[in-house]
Structures are given as structure tokens and as C-alpha cells.
A and B are shown apart, each in its own frame.
Chain A
């Protein structure tokens, strides 16, 4: 096992200001995330909207500065030339080099492509920015062929392509600088299942060909199960469970993970269902002590939903029971979860 990235107790708190400009609360988007990302494997991050997946990705790329904690880079990325292996301490020169090693694919391909640029300009832009200006044209054609497009697509605009083709262009651009890591932020959620299958196959082929490390963010568990080797489940800025994919799907420990797995619609009608009742609580933590803690007692909405569901033979958990912070414990080798130890 070779690590390529290590996150150490990473925290990102966004201040909430009142109309006078003084801080009244903190949104704890990331609240102590520890992860090790293995080289050449696919690491999955699952969670609902607002759980901190995207903030995690942005802190990894240093698009936002973490409040505390650090991202430790391995030799594979630094190449022993850096003054420090901590992402925070890199000089601007080194940061430029670091950003070459890490490519990003976003959710909505149309939003990620400039509608006024030709495909050849879009794909060659990273090459030009990083000064690799010799043989740009042949390099662009090579990149396009890698993702199943070709020379005939060079002089077209993004709107002339279908959704799947656009996502291929975004992937080609992300690969332009031979990155070691590819961050995929919900790459297939805007696509149909048949196109999704094409893109997932393409990603698997590219991973084998270039020995890439993927960080795969998604809320679709069937895609995650198919793609990932290791998986972290996030809830309200914390990792609640982390394990190898097979282990996590066969033996989930945290109540939230169990409910999430059963909430995914499946063809098996007899599958045991666990409903999560209630709405996602607000991640705002008030500095004022009296309001500080997220309440762990059952809310009005949850009471109503419990009364609606009772007697139907459906298992349920309530969200307010998830608000309590429990330390991460080791279940088995490489399987961690935030559950109480018996």
C-alpha cells in the first residue's frame, strides 16, 4: 500500500456574520477529517448534499484554505523537490507544479466548458498555461483519441456535442498535463444510464492505462460500488464510516450508512428498508453557548413521520439521533466507524 495523499485532522469552518459584521456562528463544513488515499486506486466519498464532500475536494486542491489540519503530499507528487510536503507551506511555484499533478472533472460538463471556445482551445488551454507549447495540436488530438473523440471534433463548439461527449472533453482536458490524481465530482449524475455506462468504462480504461488515482465523489451508491476500491461515508462534515467497498457494503456498522444503503432504490422489493426520518439539520454552530449544541431530542417533523410510518413494519432511524459526536473506532482491519463500542 502506497499513500499518495494524507489528510490529517482537516477542518474548514466558515464564519457566519450578523448585520454588524461580527461572527455569530460557524458552519463546520469539515470537522476533523482523517483520510489516507492510496496510489493507483479509486477512493470514493459519499454523502448527501451539504455534508462537506465538495469542501473536502476544494481543500484538497487548496482552492480554500483549511482552518486547521493539513494535507500531506507523498514523494510521488513532490518528487523530492519541494521545500515541504505540507500543502499549506508550498510556495507559489510549487503550488503551480502541484496543480499539474491533479486534474478535476466537475458534475455539469456544460458549465465547465466555455461556450465561446473551440474544443481545440479548451483542451490545449492547460498546456499553454503551463508552457508546454510544442506540438500542441498533435497532443490535443492524442488526448481526444484517448477519450473516444477524434481530429474531426477539433473545430467545434461545446454546444454541438451531447452530454456524454461533453463529459469526455472535460476528461480529456483534465488529463492534458499527465496528472497523477483525478478528482471526479459527481461525473455522471447529469447523464443517462446508458451514457453513464460509457463514461464509467472510459474512466476504468484510463485508470489502467495511466495508473491514475481517482478521488470519486458521488451520491449514487450503485456507481460508487462499481468504481471504488475504498470508501468514506460523510455526514455533517465528519467521516462516519470508512472501509474497503466490499466490506462496507456487506457489513455496514454506522446507522447512517445502513440507512443510506437501504435508501438506494433497487430492484429487490424484499430488501429490508431503513428510512431516515426528519430533515438534514443545519450545519450552523452558534458561538453563543446556549444555542451551541445540536439538539439530540426528537423534532416535531420526526414525530409526525414516525406516527405515519409506525405499524407498517418499516425500520427507521431519526436524524436527531445522528447529531451526537462519537469518536471513530476500528471495527476490523481497515474498517473504521463512529459507533459506540460494546
Chain B
């Protein structure tokens, strides 16, 4: 599915060049859950951002090839990359509340992805059900007209208030109220093919009352529900691969168990590949089939889950496993680590 070969990424800083990735080789097969573990600064997130060309300005991929389904996307055009991000590859980030737009309803956010990546499907559904594809065709005048009416009303109101004849401003006030009322009604009236598809996407991640959730803002949902919405968004573009960057770090253990179960279920149903990036070895042990351990921009060990936990070969992996408290009250062994250096 995704194949990364000898990937090298540098960050140019004022203090010099930081070699964030120093020759990373990864191969993720179709339909497997692959875990990428490492501590802060080991380069696990940078690997995923480099693969999707989402690096900040200072970062730069200097060497290596990235293959997606046999297609070389190392030097892909911006248009092609835009198709891949959210289309073939869906991403979930650590903190759902900061990844969701606080001023857009869930409906609008998932709708955006569907319009970008599933437009053909959308048109088909609209033809079948004989409904408009987007709500705006039925309900909304163009935003320019709405704005003009609003500005017109407000200027008249202020004019009459200034003249001391506030009674004359009442009809204009009434018009403004009507416009708000229409907006409100629109929010609670699913009428388009897009709405149906959004509701379908939300029910796939086992959210109750998808109609109601579609019309709510992110802050109205609990942490677990927000993460479910994020997963729905990542899957909306019919993704064949899901990259989950620390999907449960911000959640409680009980909610974490629910979300991991959901990811496992969906992976099985859709036969997707999942790349799970995490620092928690326990999460990896429970969900993944294969694991790669990263340290200082390199993959130090790669094996199946059973092997890595029963018989770790690399010293760093051993140290990492020993540092976790495991019931006994013996003194914890601290792995001897050097800090990531600036070169």
C-alpha cells in the first residue's frame, strides 16, 4: 500500500541542520494495522508528514522515495497531492478539538470533504433521490444578496434611530429577524444529497442521532464523540489508508478502548491499511499486527507484535520495555539515552 524507502528529512534551523529523519524504510501492506512507536522527537510524526508533503517551511525532504499503491508520489504535483490527502489517505490527529474548525458545524466540515473528493457519488445520489446536491440550491440566495439586504436594513435602522423616529426602524428590524429565522430553519432541515451522505458517514462511526450531531458545533460534543467525528471525516473520502497520529492520547483509558475498538472494526469492515503512530507501547500491543520502533530519526527495530514484546533484539527497544512499570515494586530501569542532537 504505502512504501517508504530511505527517506531523509532535514529541518533548517538557526542553530544548524536537524536531521529529523535519517534513512527511514517502511512498508505497509494492504489491510494491516501497522504501529509506529517512539518517544518525543524520534521522528514518527515527521515520517507521516513527509510522506504527505505536509512539512512546515523549515522542513525539507532531501532523499528517498515514497510509493503509494505502486505510484511514485515523491515528486507528485500539488493537484495530485490534494487528491491523495483526504481522498486515498485519511488522517486523524491527536487533539480532535484543535483539528476541527470551531466555527463550522460538523455537517459543513464533512460536507467540504465530500464535495472535494466524492463529487461524482454526490451527483449520482442527487439524481437518484431527485433532490439538490447542495442545500444552497434550494434555500440560500447568494451571499452577496444576503449581505446587501442586511447592510441596507442596518443603515436604515441607524438612520431612523438617529433621527429620533425609532418606530420607523421596526419593519427593517423585522426583516433582519426573518433572515436569522431562515438561517435557523435551514440548520435543522436536511434536504440535500450532501446531508444524506454526511449522515451516512456519521452513522458509520457508530454515532447516535447523526442528524442532530451533524448540526452541532465541535464544542457541543464530548472528547470521544469529537474523535469519532474526526474518524468519520478521515473516512468520508473513501480512504484506502488511514494515518492515525496519536489518536487516543488526549482521551481517557475507557474512551481510548472504545476508539481503538472502532478503528479495528472499521479496518476489518473496509479492509483498509492503518498506520498508527503512538508513544504508548500498550496501545500498539493491543491493536497492531506489525510494529516499527523509531529512535533519533531511524527505525531501530521492525517486527511483528508478538516478537517485539517477547523477544526484543535492539537495546533501545529493550530499555523502553523495561522502563514501563509492570506491577512489581522493584526499582525501574532507566534506559541510557542521548538527546537528539543538532548537527
- Residue numbers of A with Cβ under 8 A of B are 48-49, 162-163, 192-194, 196-198, 200-201, 204, 219, 221-223, 225-227, 249, 259-260, 263-267, 269, 273, 275-277, 279-280, 299-301, 303-305, 308-309, 314
> Would you list 5 pairs from A and B whose C-beta atoms are within 8 A, ordered by A residue?
A197-B332, A201-B334, A266-B285, A276-B257, A279-B224
A194 touches B334 (CB 8 A): yes
Not counting A265-B257, A280-B222, A304-B206, a sample of 6 additional A-B residue pairs whose C-beta atoms are within 8 angstroms of each other reads: A193-B39, A198-B334, A222-B327, A226-B326, A265-B256, A308-B206
**Chain A's nearest CB lies how many Å from the CB of B165?**
31
* Across-interface contacts of B222 in A (CB, < 8 A): 279-280
Chain B residues within 8 Å of chain A by Cβ, number = 43
Stretch of B11-19, B181-189, B235-243, B276-284 that contacts chain A: B276-284
A222 touches B254 (CB 8 A): no
List CB contacts (< 8 Å) of B286-343 with chain A. Answer: 286, 309, 319-320, 323-327, 329, 331-335, 337, 339
**Chain B's nearest CB lies how many Å from the CB of A292?**
22
* Across-interface contacts of B329 in A (CB, < 8 A): 226
A194 touches B206 (CB 8 A): no
A275 to B260 Cα, complex, angstroms: 11
Closest to A302 in B: B208
| B199 located at the interface, meaning its Cβ lies under 8 Å from any Cβ of chain A in the complex | no
| B265 located at the interface, meaning its Cβ lies under 8 Å from any Cβ of chain A in the complex | yes
A265 touches B208 (CB 8 A): no
A309 touches B261 (CB 8 A): yes
Interface core residue of A194, A260, A263, A276 (most chain B CB under 10 Å)? A194
| A193-B320 in contact given A275-B261, A279-B225, A308-B265 (Cβ < 8 Å) | yes
* Across-interface contacts of B209 in A (CB, < 8 A): 300
| A204-B254 in contact given A265-B280, A267-B285 (Cβ < 8 Å) | no
A260 touches B282 (CB 8 A): no
Contact of B279 among A192, A219, A225, A304 (CB under 8 A): A192
| B271 located at the interface, meaning its Cβ lies under 8 Å from any Cβ of chain A in the complex | no
* Across-interface contacts of B326 in A (CB, < 8 A): 222, 226
B331 touches A226 (CB 8 A): no
* Across-interface contacts of A49 in B (CB, < 8 A): 223, 252
9 pairs of A and B residues whose beta carbons are closest in the complex: A265-B282, A226-B325, A300-B208, A197-B323, A197-B332, A48-B252, A192-B39, A301-B208, A263-B257
| A162-B339 in contact given A194-B323, A222-B325 (Cβ < 8 Å) | yes
| B158 located at the interface, meaning its Cβ lies under 8 Å from any Cβ of chain A in the complex | no
* Across-interface contacts of B282 in A (CB, < 8 A): 222, 264-267
B261 touches A192 (CB 8 A): no
Interface core residue of B208, B225, B337 (most chain A CB under 10 Å)? B208
| A194-B337 in contact given A279-B225, A301-B208 (Cβ < 8 Å) | yes
A193 to B40 Cα, complex, angstroms: 10
| A200-B325 in contact given A194-B337, A300-B208 (Cβ < 8 Å) | yes
**Chain B's nearest CB lies how many Å from the CB of A110?**
13
| B58 located at the interface, meaning its Cβ lies under 8 Å from any Cβ of chain A in the complex | no
**Chain B's nearest CB lies how many Å from the CB of A305?**
6
A267 touches B208 (CB 8 A): no
| B253 located at the interface, meaning its Cβ lies under 8 Å from any Cβ of chain A in the complex | yes
* Across-interface contacts of A193 in B (CB, < 8 A): 39, 279, 281, 320, 323-324
| B155 located at the interface, meaning its Cβ lies under 8 Å from any Cβ of chain A in the complex | no
A305 touches B286 (CB 8 A): no
**Chain B's nearest CB lies how many Å from the CB of A48?**
4
Interface core residue of A192, A201, A264 (most chain B CB under 10 Å)? A192
A308 to B265 Cα, complex, angstroms: 9
Contact pattern, B 13-27, Cβ under 8 Å of A = 1, otherwise 0: 000000000000000
**Chain A's nearest CB lies how many Å from the CB of B67?**
31
Interface core residue of A163, A279, A314 (most chain B CB under 10 Å)? A279
Contact of B283 among A204, A222, A265 (CB under 8 A): A265
| B119 located at the interface, meaning its Cβ lies under 8 Å from any Cβ of chain A in the complex | no
| A269-B39 in contact given A219-B253, A263-B257, A300-B209 (Cβ < 8 Å) | no
* Across-interface contacts of A314 in B (CB, < 8 A): 261
A222 touches B334 (CB 8 A): no
A263 to B327 Cα, complex, angstroms: 16
**Chain B's nearest CB lies how many Å from the CB of A162?**
7
* Across-interface contacts of A48 in B (CB, < 8 A): 252-255
* Across-interface contacts of B254 in A (CB, < 8 A): 48, 259-260, 263, 276
A227 to B208 Cα, complex, angstroms: 39
A223 touches B256 (CB 8 A): no
A196 to B260 Cα, complex, angstroms: 24
Interface core residue of A226, A259, A277 (most chain B CB under 10 Å)? A226
| A194-B286 in contact given A219-B252, A263-B253, A275-B258 (Cβ < 8 Å) | no
**Chain B's nearest CB lies how many Å from the CB of A237?**
16
| A200-B332 in contact given A267-B309, A275-B257 (Cβ < 8 Å) | yes
B319 touches A305 (CB 8 A): no
* Across-interface contacts of A259 in B (CB, < 8 A): 254
**Chain B's nearest CB lies how many Å from the CB of A125?**
28
* Across-interface contacts of B335 in A (CB, < 8 A): 194, 197
B325 touches A204 (CB 8 A): no
| A305-B206 in contact given A193-B279, A263-B254 (Cβ < 8 Å) | yes
Contact of B320 among A162, A163, A194, A276 (CB under 8 A): A194
